[in-house]
Amino acid sequence: MLRSVRSLVRFARPEWRGSRRRLARCGNIDDLRRIAQRRLPAGVFDYIDGAAEDERTMAENAAAYGRVRIEPRILVDVAKVDASTTLLGRRMPYPLALAPTGFTRIAHWEGELAVARAAAKAGLPYALSTLGTRSIEELAAVSDGDKWFQLYVWRDRGLAKELMARAREAGFTCIMPTVDTAVLGRRERDVRRGFTLPPKIGPSTLVDGIRHPAWTWNLVRREPITFSSVAGHVGIDGSTAVALSTYVATQFDPSFSWRDIEWVRSEAGMPVMLKGVQSAADVRTAASIGVDAVVLSNHGGRQFEGAPAPLDLLPEVMDSVGESIEVLVDGGVRRGSDVVKAVRLGARAVLIGRPYLYGLAAAGEEGVSWVISHLTSGIDRTLRLTGAPAIADVVLHRDAAR
């Protein structure tokens, strides 16, 4: 009797570390999102989770993946699968990169450093935002992985030029101008809350802060959050609370246009990838002037509400530019099978934004690593379950092949 009870009951070793305990209970990115929602003040969670206007574009980005079907093939030897690829001449183990996100330390005090370390450990590129809360040099000090610098162009062009030179000096391998942000999209969750960066302390934010003591304690005992790469530039470095829409309207150059891309290319001294391209016509223009790569992206639905889902654009884009330019996509990627679908439809790689921010908020660097391995193991599993040793072997159902 005792023996049979002993064979049935096994006591799990208690996990003392909160981050590990939280991750152990997660099955997918949605679970992480719920933990992030619990741990972050509501205004901060909404800044990360929200999108423009009715948020339909954000929803469509993800829904587009659900419309693509794969036809599993059987009895194929999938003991070994390989999803590795080459991007901008560099080898990577999976067609996955971590997108730039502004103000990352608002999710977790380690911010961009945690993201960069997790990306480097997995051998994946990470793009530091112009509005990053750790500087180009701080990032280079913790990561010898592949680092890209996302560029917003200020009215003061000298600043953009200086940042590109510093990124080059620090060993970054790609300059990524974001081209979908002439003004900020209308993010109505932030409008309603009067959300600023850094958050202003008022009665409602105070209550929010008290209800999230771990987050608040970590915020107040660290150095202030600013746009670290431009620290010391008064009015620009984010040291005074400002609505992001006002910041973008007053600081970034809305006249930035195609003729300036040549200037970026000449200053960059490294490959240039345009992020935020939303039509086949613009991909053709980018290819024709020698841009190295584009990211089909609507900024995760945070900019223009009503743009096509990047995945839906891919077949037309690939038909029209072929191999003449490297094409990536982002927005709505939540599973390894999504990555496989995008790559099978022609993308070189995909980027993720919110998923790693949820992971960061839930469990710091370990949370980011959890997200990466959730996606990479999902890629391998998809290949095995569909009888495809490589992504090129995946058979799309004819509706998706278009």
Residues interacting with ligand FMN, by CB under 6 A?
A: 48, 61, 99-102, 129, 131, 150, 178, 275, 297, 299-300, 302, 330-333, 352-354, 357
**Minimum distance, C-beta of residue 144 to ligand FMN, in the bound complex (Å):** 23
The CB-nearest residue to ligand FMN is: 353
Residue 110 beta carbon to ligand FMN: minimum distance, rounded to whole angstroms: 16
Q: Decide whether 45 or 344 has the Cβ nearer to ligand FMN.
A: 45
Q: Does the annotation count 299 as an active-site position? A: yes
Residue from 69, 271, 54, 254 nearest 174 by CA: 271
- The residue with tokens 């530039």 is 233
Query: CB of 16: closest distance to ligand FMN in angstroms?
Result: 31
Place of tokens 């059987």: 74
Q: Which helix (H) or strand (E) holds 349?
A: strand 349-352
Q: Which is nearer to ligand FMN, 99 or 362 (CB)?
A: 99
Q: Could you give the maximum distance between any two Cα atoms of the chain, in Å?
A: 82
Shortest approach of ligand FMN to residue 310 CB, angstroms?
9
CB-nearer residue toward ligand FMN: 178 or 382: 178
**Alpha-carbon gap, residue 149 to 230, rounded angstroms:** 13
Among the options 108, 212, 233, 299, which is catalytic?
A: 299
Tokens for 50, please give them: 């929200």
What residues pair up with 176 in beta bridges, in sequence order?
Answer: 150
User: What φ, ψ does residue 250 adopt, rounded to 5°?
Assistant: -95, -25
E strand segments, 262-348: 273-277, 293-296, 326-330
Q: CA triplet 141, 145, 147: central angle to 5 degrees?
A: 80
Q: Nearer to ligand FMN by C-beta: 29 or 92? A: 29
Q: In this complex, which beta carbon is closest to ligand FMN, that of residue 348 or of residue 354?
A: 354
- State in angstroms the smallest separation of the CB of 65 from ligand FMN: 11
Cis geometry, peptide bond prior to residue 203 (ω within 30 degrees of 0): no
C-alpha closest to that of 330 among 358, 313, 311: 311
- Parallel, antiparallel, or unpaired: how do β-strands 126-128 and 326-330 relate? unpaired
β-strand pairing of 349-352 with 326-330: parallel
Task: Specify the residue, 47 or 391, whose C-beta has the smaller distance to ligand FMN.
Answer: 47
CB of 335 to ligand FMN, least distance (A): 12
Angle subtended at Cα 385 by Cα 310 and Cα 64, rounded to the nearest 5 degrees? 20
Tell me, letter by letter, the H, E, C secondary structure of 167-185: HHHCCCCEEEEECCCCCCC
Residues classed as catalytic: 299
